[in-house]
Amino acid sequence: MANNMDDQITSTFGALADPTRRAILSRLASGETSVTELAAPFEMSMPAVSRHLKVLERAGLISRGREAQWRPCKLNPKPLKEAAEWLEEYRQFWEQSFDRLEEYLKTMQAKEKRRNKKK
C-alpha cells in the first residue's frame, strides 16, 4: 500500500504530465494571478482552463481564492519540492553508476593499451 508521500508524488507527476499545466505553474511562479490572466495565452475555453486548474489544485500545487469577482491562483511549492527531493535520490544513483562505468572504461582502456604494447 502506498503511503501519503507516494500518493502526493503520484498526484504531482500526474498534474505535471500535461504541458498546459506546467505552463500555468510557470506563470504562477512569478506570483499570484487571476484565472482570467492565466487563461489568456491559451487557445482554449475557460471551462477547459478551469479543469486544468482543478487538477493542479487537487494535486496541491496551487490554491485558488475568491475575492469578489477576482479569482486569484497561487503556487504551492511544497509538492514540487517533495518531487524534486524524490528525483534527487535517483540523480545521485545515476551519477554514481556513471562514475563507476567511467572507472571501468578507464581500466579497460589501460589494459587494452598494455596489450597493444606487447604485440
- What are the structural domain ranges in the chain? 4-118
Retrieve residue 18's grid coordinates. 500535461
CATH code for residues 4-118:
1.10.10.10
9 within 8 A of 2, measured Cβ to Cβ:
no
28 within 8 A of 73, measured Cβ to Cβ:
yes
pTM: predicted TM-score of the whole model, two decimal places: 0.72
| Inter-CA distances, 42 with 16, 27, 28, 101, 118, Å | 17, 12, 15, 45, 67
Walk along the chain (119 residues) and give the pLDDT tens digit of each residue: 346 666 889 999 999 999 999 999 999 999 999 999 999 999 999 999 999 999 999 999 999 988 777 779 999 999 999 999 999 988 888 888 888 898 889 999 988 888 888 76
Residue type (1 letter), 71:
R
Retrieve residue 117's grid coordinates. 604494447
